[in-house]
Structure formats: structure tokens, C-alpha cells
A and B are shown apart, each in its own frame.
Chain A
């Protein structure tokens, strides 16, 4: 096997083979150079179905182990149950490490088996946390347990530079954030600030990952930032979300300050257009907070006042602007995931706002006709905007 060439997908190699003659014709490279460039790469077919099966298997086993913890198998004493689950976690970590060493010894693409094993180890760590808490009768519905699971999974992800445990950590972290905020937020403003400032921090983490390795962590952080920013702005646009009872404790203020500091530091440390990402996310946080603090207060019964319409108009404009930013980011980063996320967010937001606004003045079948027209209109405009953005970004 040629160990000096770089392994790429057959599609990438086919693209290079198509491009090289064109570069030769343009005089950019000679025939000899083209051959040398081509020798630098070799096609390695990635096992897509095998990868999917492996990751699904790891997810099923991991969730199953957590489910077994929840089943509270009293055939084993609590301490033995904890030791069994801990041994399983350490075993999964050790197996992942052995597989990772073998994969690193070769020069092929990262092995999906290693990724699946690492994902399983990250899920199994959650089982350890929950089993420890169950064995020690820690009171139920404690969000800190999910927070510890997320922290442990992220720690492991950075130690092994594994994307699978990073995804586990980010999802668990999202669950913890939403749970913690819902339980302790106390007010709509608290929830909106937590979501949008966390979004800015995640956007900052994404650009920092690009600047400093591992760069493959940037995409998951960026996706989390986009989900949080759009969710936070969505919540801010809901008319009933207000700043009443907003009284965060000291820890919440510290967390908010750290989030803002991380976003600003990331903007300072990154280069070029990347520095805009955390700054735009911070701007979204400010707009979201402003929308919550702006209470039209003119609603009397079912009547909608002029200021309510104005509030709704500004909310929609801000949301369309934020979704457009995410779509542009998706085009810039060649991430269809982000573009689809922006579209999905816009559809959900439009539906919600349509019900909130039109349902008060239109009834029955006409509501569906109007909603359908709103969908057709927004879909057409988004598709057109996406095409124009793609051309503008490519230019």
C-alpha cells in the first residue's frame, strides 16, 4: 500500500482528475506537475452504510445501558450495579483507545469503528453518572447530573479529539442548559438571555476551533450556536414572553459574563470574516433582549393594538435577518445542514407567528388558505434569496 499519498474519497479524486486537464490547458500546471499532484492522492471508499450501522449500534447500546440504570435492577446491590456500569464505561473507553491506536497507525481516514466506540464510551459515562446518583439516592430530576455528563463527555472528546463524544457532550449540554434555565430562569428574559448568550459562546467556540485545532470540532459548535440563537430569538418574539420576575442569581450573571467574554475573545483571536460570527451572535442576543424588554402593553382582551403589530413586525424582521445570517453562514462554510436549519427555523417561526397574528382575525378554512399562501410566499422568497446569496458569496 502506498503510505505517502493522502486518502480521499473517490468523488474528490474524480473531481481532481476532471480539473487537472483544465488547469493544464490554462497553463497553471504542466503535465508533469499534474501527474505529481495526482500521485499525492488515492481513493478510499468510506463504508457509509457500515458507518451508519456502527453509530446506530453504539447509540442503541449506550441508550440501552442508561435505560438499564433506570430499570433499577434490584437483583444486584446498588454498589455492584455502579461497579458494573463503571467497568462497562472503562471497558468501552479502553476498546476505543485500542481501536484508535490501530487507526492512527494506518494512514486511512478515521475509522468509524473508533468513532462508534468513542460515542459509546461517552454515552456510558452518562450511565455511570446516573447509576452513581441512583445508588446514592440523589433527589430526582436533578439537571446537574446531565450537566456533569455533558462536561465529562466534552472532556473526553477533547482528550481523544473525537467528534462522536463531542456530539454526545453538546446534546447533553443543550439538554442541561434548557432544563436548568427552565427550572431556574424565573422569567422569559432569563431564558432568552441564557439561550442567546450561550449561542454567542458556541459561535465563539466554533471560530476558535477553526483557528486552533481540532478544526473538525468547529462544525458541531457552529450548529449548536445556530440552533440556540434561532431558538432564543424565537422565544423573544413570542408576545407573552416578558422580563417580569427577572432576578438572576450571582452564578447566572457570572455565566452570562463568561459567555459574552468568550464570544468577544473569539472575535479578537479569529481572522477575517470569521470574527463576525460571534459578534453577529452577540447582536442577536441584544436584539432578543430588546424585544423581550419592549412590552407593547396595549393588548386589551382580544384586541391587537398598533404597538403589538409593530412589535410583531420588528420580531419578524429580526428573525428573518437572523435566519438569513445562518443561511449565509451555511453557504460560506458549504454546510447544507445550516442552510436547511435556517429554512426549517423560518418555516416554524412563520407558522407560529401566522397563527398568533392571523388566527385572531381569520377563522376556520380561510386560516389554512392564508397560511398556505404565507408558506408559498416565504418558501419562494427564501429559495430566491438562497440562490442570490450563493451567487453573491461565490462572486
Chain B
């Protein structure tokens, strides 16, 4: 058997493709982290546990569109332009067409909820409970990186 099709070569090729799959499935968040700018949004708590990734806090964003009530057009891709509102950012008028310039969030409202890829904050279980209490008691904000295609990644959730 010649070298390019030997088993070590196949295994190495498979491992590279597997790494590409990993990169592909997290590409939105990876791109936002590496190339995006940072914005601060206010958050509210929800909760629970993902079977493969553990405890997390589900975040709701009062200044973004929580559901697609009142938003025109067929559910699908939805874009939320970000507008500065004091120290934090809020959503402007949602659109079905990608805005010509940013910043904006690329979201999805195929379900009743508007999802922008920043709804979960994973952390140890004890910390999750503490964070929920902090969010209920205080004014908590999320720092989010957004790239020029609207991909968003949560960077931090902190009490102001």
C-alpha cells in the first residue's frame, strides 16, 4: 500500500476532518470571539442543566426582541440592529433582510423565541445559582462580541 493511503495517513486525515467539524459547529461563536467588537447588554435569568455540558444559566435580554410577536414576515432569519442606549446596547427595529452595515445580531425565530446564539452561559453549578440570585437582585450585563456577519458570542456576564 502506498504512503498517502496508509492507515496513519488516513487516521491523520480523519483527525483533521474531525477538527474541522468541531470548528464548523462552533464557527459562529469562534468568528465572533476572534473578529468581533464588544457590546454590553442587560440580562435577566432563567436556568438548568445540559446533559453534555453541565449547568448553565439561560439568559433573557429585555432590550432585545424576546419573541417574534409583532414582527412581520415568515419566521426564519431575523436581524436585530444594535443601537446604543446609554452604557448598554439595545435592539432597533428587527428586519428580515440583512442590514447593510452593523452592528447587528443575526438571529433565528423559527421557534416562538428569538435566538441569537447568546442565550446560555455555562458555569459550575454553585456559581450558576449565585449568578441567578445576583441577576434577580442586581443589574447584570452581558458582554457580547459580534462580528460583521452578526454572529455573536457571550464573553462575560457581570454585575454592574
Chain A residues engaging chain B, CB cutoff 8 angstroms: 66, 69-74, 90, 93, 97, 100-101, 104, 125-126, 128-130, 132-134, 136-141, 144-146, 148, 151-152, 155-156, 158-160
* B39 touches A (CB below 8 Å): no
Q: Which residue of A lies closest to B76 (CB)?
A: A249
- Report how far A69 CA is from B17 CA in the complex, Å: 22
- CB atoms of A136 and B29 under 8 A apart: yes
Q: How far is the CA of A160 from the CA of B8 in the complex (A)?
A: 9
The contact sample of 29 A-B pairs, CB cut-off 8 A, is: A66-B52, A69-B53, A70-B53, A71-B124, A72-B124, A72-B125, A74-B123, A74-B127, A129-B25, A130-B53, A132-B22, A132-B25, A134-B53, A136-B153, A138-B26, A138-B117, A139-B115, A139-B117, A145-B52, A148-B21, A152-B17, A155-B14, A155-B18, A155-B21, A156-B14, A156-B15, A158-B14, A160-B11, A160-B14
What total of chain B residues lie within 8 Å of the partner, measured CB to CB?
40
Cα distance, A108 to B32, chains bound together (Å):
51
Asked if B120 is at the interface (CB within 8 A of a chain A CB), the reply is yes
Q: Report the minimal beta-carbon distance from A277 to chain B, rounded to whole angstroms.
A: 28
Bound Cα distance A93, B153 (Å): 31
B43 interface contact, C-beta 8 A: no
Q: Measured between alpha carbons, how far is A146 from B25 in the docked complex, in Å? A: 10
Which applies to chain B's interface (DSSP): helix, strand, loop or mixed? mixed
Tell me which of A90, A130, A140, A141 has the highest count of chain B C-beta atoms within 10 A of its own C-beta. A140
Q: Which 4 A-B pairs have the closest CB atoms?
A: A159-B14, A70-B54, A136-B29, A152-B18
Given contacts A139-B118, A140-B50, 10 further A-B contacts (CB under 8 A): A70-B54, A73-B124, A90-B15, A137-B120, A137-B122, A141-B50, A148-B24, A155-B18, A159-B11, A160-B11
Q: Which residue of B lies closest to A152 (CB)?
A: B18
Identity of the chain B residue whose Cβ is nearest the Cβ of A129 in the assembled complex: B22
| Nearest CB of B to A248, in Å | 12
Look across to chain B and name the residue whose beta carbon is closest to the beta carbon of A98.
Answer: B8
- Is the beta-carbon distance between A140 and B10 smaller than 8 angstroms? no
The interface bits of chain B over 39-59 (1 if a CB of A lies within 8 angstroms of the residue's CB, else 0) are: 000000000111111111010
Give Cα A90 to B50, complex, Å: 25
